[in-house]
Structure formats: C-alpha cells, structure tokens
Amino acid sequence: MGNCHTVGPNEALVVSGGCCGSDQKTYVVGGWAWAWWLISDIQRITLEIMTLQPKCEDVETAEGVAITVTGVAQVKVMTERELLGYACEQFLGKTVVEIKSVILQTLEGHLRAILGTLTVEQIYQDRDKFASLVREVAAPDVGRMGIEILSFTIKDVYDKVEYLSSLGKTQTAAVQRDADIGVAEAERDAGIREAECKKEMMDVKFVADTKMADSKRELEMQKASFNQEVNTKKAEAQLAFELQAAKEQQKIRLEEIEIEVVQRKKQITIEEKEIDRTEKELIATVKRPAEAEAYKMEQLAEGHKMKKVLTAQAEAEKIRRIGEAEATSIEAVGKAEAEKMRLKAEAYQQYGDAAKTALVLEALPKIAGKVAAPLSKTNEIVILSGEGSRVTGEVNRLLAELPVSVNALTGVDLTKIPLLQKITGPQCQAAI
C-alpha cells in the first residue's frame, strides 16, 4: 500500500525507491506523487527565493587599500530536471539556513577574489559593473550546485583609513574648482550674451522702428488710397444711384403709359360692349319684332297658299278617284258592249266598211254621254300649271288616246276611217 503526496509550486518533491527496488528518483514541482510504504523515500527541497547579504571586511584592493564591501544577492533553486538533480545532490536533507550558508560562502569567496583585482576608484565609481562582474564569475560555480543568481547588487563600500573620504574631498575640491570656474565662465558668457542680446535688441528695435515707420507710411498711403477709392466709389455710387433713379423713373413712366394704354383699351372694350349692347337692344326691341311680324305675315300667306293648294289637291284627288270609279264602271260596260259588239261583229262580219262606220257612229254618242256624265256634276276644274299651253296639250292627248280606247273597247281602228282621220289628224289638233 502507499500514500499520495502533494507539493505546492514553491517546493519540489523528491520520491526515491520503488516497488521493484529501483533507485530512480522522481522530481515533482507543484503536483502530486505516489509513494509506497516502507519502500519509497519522500523528501522536499524549497524553491523559494533566498536573500543573501555577502560581506567582505578589510579586503585589500589592487592598490593595497583595505575596504569593506557589503552586497545583496537573490538566489533560488533551478527547476530544470538536471539542474534540480544537482541541487538535490548538494542540498537535499539540509535546512534553508544551511543552504544559504553554503551559497553565501561561495559568493563571499568570489567577491574577495574580484576585490583584489580592482582599484578603489573602479569599485566605488562603477558599482554596477563591479556587481555584474561578481555575478558573472560566481554564476558558474553556484550553477553547478543547481542555484541561479537572480540579482546581485553592491550595498555599501567603506574603509577604515578614510581613503574614500579623502578621495571624496579631492573630488569635491575639484568639483568646487570646476564649479567656480564654471560660474566665472558662466558670468562672463552671461555678460557677453547680455551685451549681444542688448545689441540684438537694439538692432531688432531699430529694425522694428524702421518697419513701424514704413508700416505707418504705408498705412497713410493705404489710407489715402482707400479714401480715394472710397470717394471714387461714393461718386460712382451716387452716379449709379441717379442713373438707377432715372431708370426707375423711366420704368415708372413706362408703367404709367402702359396703365393708360390698358385703361384706354378697357375703355374701348367697354364702349364696344356698350355698342354691342345697344345694337342687341335695338335688334331685340326693333328688328326682332319686325322680323317676327314679317315672319308671321309670311307664314300666314304661306298657310293660306298651302290651304288653297291642299284644298285643290283634295278636290283633284276626289275628282280623280270619282273619275277612276266611273272609268272602271264605264270600262266594265264598255267590255260588255264590246263583247256585244264582237258578237255583232261576228254577225255582221259580212257587212262592208260603210256598215261598220255606221255602227261606230251610232255607238259614239252613247260613249260620249257616258264619258261626259261625271263631268256634268263638276262645278269647277282647276288645272295646277303655270303654263298657258298645258290645256291644249291635255286636249290633244285625250284626242290622241281616244282611237286607242275605242280600238280596245270595240276592236275598230278609228284611224282607218277617213272621217275620223280628219278629226284626229295633226292639222285638226294644231287648230285646236
């Protein structure tokens, strides 16, 4: 059986021995490790920083001056496995005080050796270089022990024969001398610089005065130029104002003329509208009534005319229809008579022309009586025509159509009868 051992980051745990009798060591930093009872050996070594104060008293320098030097060193055990092994070999099982004592003796030994190779001035004036030299010389030795020198500084350097004090006085006197010389030179330089500054000031003042005078002269010239420009601009502005005023006055006059023209145009328009109104009033009060009266009279005359025309047309239509009715009656009678005559003609077919003429002449009075019978009832015949020869033409047409009607009714051609040829011939018609 065994136990688990833990360790913080400021310590290293060393486990030696194992279950098989091995002598191998295990190093653990900031972790844990397993150890067997009665077999494994557990040891710890510190990794914290250790502060040392090496001191060398009455150590002679290269010039034989005995001085005492104290310093401050910060060291610690290195954690790399190999170097940690070196430290464990040297210090495992020792206390921190014992580890510090070993390292302190090593550092003091190297410090004495280095002091013997340097002068007091080198040690006193350049302590950083001296401390760096000690750290470089001692680092390999302490490194072989697994120790790292983190820092090394010289804390104090002093002696018992007042060498450093004398050295300080000499240095102080030299510094005082240099200071007095510096003050004198500074005062001299200050005087020279003051004179130079005064001269420069006077030069600058002269230049400034000259520039001021030039500036004042230029200012006066600029003022004069500006005044001239201002006066010129004022004159130009006055002329421009007067010119603009004249232009504006002209524009106003043009506007007034345009207004007068517009007023006159409007007056003319009003007068024209008044004339139109008067004319329309006259038309409405005089012309229109006269035209209405004339139109009335015209319409009345046209009405009377149309009345007569329509009356005449009605009477003519009446007569025409009565005539058509009577003509139809006569036609029927004629056809009967014609049939009778045809039968007679067949009976008298053997008669000669004289007998035929006698029969025709015997029938004509009856036909004329029948044709004239409707006319006996007519009081007035109106012929709608403006021509004077129209009546004659109608009569001629009736006479010309009479033989055709007789031929249609009786079958007798009157144009072949000599007597009737004389009656219906062109000469007789012309006489009519």
Q: Report pLDDT digits (tens) over 111-122.
A: 888 888 878 777
Query: Could you tell me what percent of the chain has a pLDDT over 70?
Result: 67
Six token digits for residue 144: 């072989």
* Confidence at residue 333, expressed as pLDDT on a 0 to 100 scale: 76
Choose among 27, 33, 43: nearest CA to 2.
33
Say whether pTM exceeds 0.75.
no
340 pLDDT higher than 70: yes
Q: Exposure string (b/e) for 122-157, b if CB count within 10 Å is 16 or more?
A: ebbeebeebbebbbeebeeebeebbbbbeebebeeb
Judge whether 6 and 15 are in contact, CB under 8 Å.
no
* Confidence at residue 431, expressed as pLDDT on a 0 to 100 scale: 46
* Confidence at residue 422, expressed as pLDDT on a 0 to 100 scale: 53
Across residues 222-242, what is the average pLDDT? 83
194 pLDDT higher than 70: yes
Six token digits for residue 62: 């290269």
3-class DSSP state of 30: coil
3-class DSSP state of 128: helix
CB atoms within 10 A of CB 73: 23
* Confidence at residue 36, expressed as pLDDT on a 0 to 100 scale: 56
* Confidence at residue 382, expressed as pLDDT on a 0 to 100 scale: 57
